[in-house]
Amino acid sequence: MQTAAAPVAAAPRRAPRPRADALRNRERIIAAAREIFVECGAEVPLDEIARRAGVGNATIYRHFADRSELITSVVLHVMDRVSDRAETAAAEEADPFEALRRFVHAAADERIGALCPMLSETFDQDQAELNAARERLERDVEGLMGRARAAGRLRADVAVGDLMVALSQLTRPLPGTPCPNIDQFVHRHLQLFLDGLQAPARSELPGSAATLDDLRRS
């Protein structure tokens, strides 16, 4: 008497991979949203973002459930790119202060200063991905400054909070000023600021160095 063969468990179905055109559309939406958030703020109509990205409104909602999810994706995109720039500068520049200088100018090109208000408003302790991206960025910037300080190239009375405040203030466009028209001034003023960070210091700074914890408390 033959025994019935045991049923073979069905292999789990893999989630379909996004199509290449869908991935390109998502990237175009994030890039367009980043630029228009810098120019007009995060409350800009989604119709305008779709128009600039060259997609229909329905395409935005296929990728992002709502405005909050789109903002979060833009913040993650910018933070990841800035962290990548920090790590590349650290790996490719022999002089640790030149690595820091290269990072600061690269971060300005990513418009991180103009997006800083969105960074603070978007963070949620329950969003592990956002917090992981923030921790990576903080670790990378502290690493750049630590190496420059250890080499005697960075003045000892500044901390990462000082750098981030200056980067935010010097790269944020003035109200009503189109971003591309002020790039020449942004990098010029950043260079002046960076010269002031170099050791030996030419003056004593008032107050104490600003840490990231200081910024979060404020």
- Give the tens place of pLDDT for each residue, 57-99: 999 999 999 988 998 899 899 999 999 999 999 999 999 999 9
pLDDT score at 177: 55
pLDDT score at 81: 93
Residue 43 per-residue DSSP state: T
Are the C-beta atoms of 144 and 100 separated by less than 8 Å? yes
Residue ranges in the chain modelled with pLDDT below 50: none
Please give the model's pTM, rounded to 2 decimal places. 0.78
Contacts of 10 (CB under 8 A, 6+ apart): none
Strand, coil or helix: what is 217?
helix
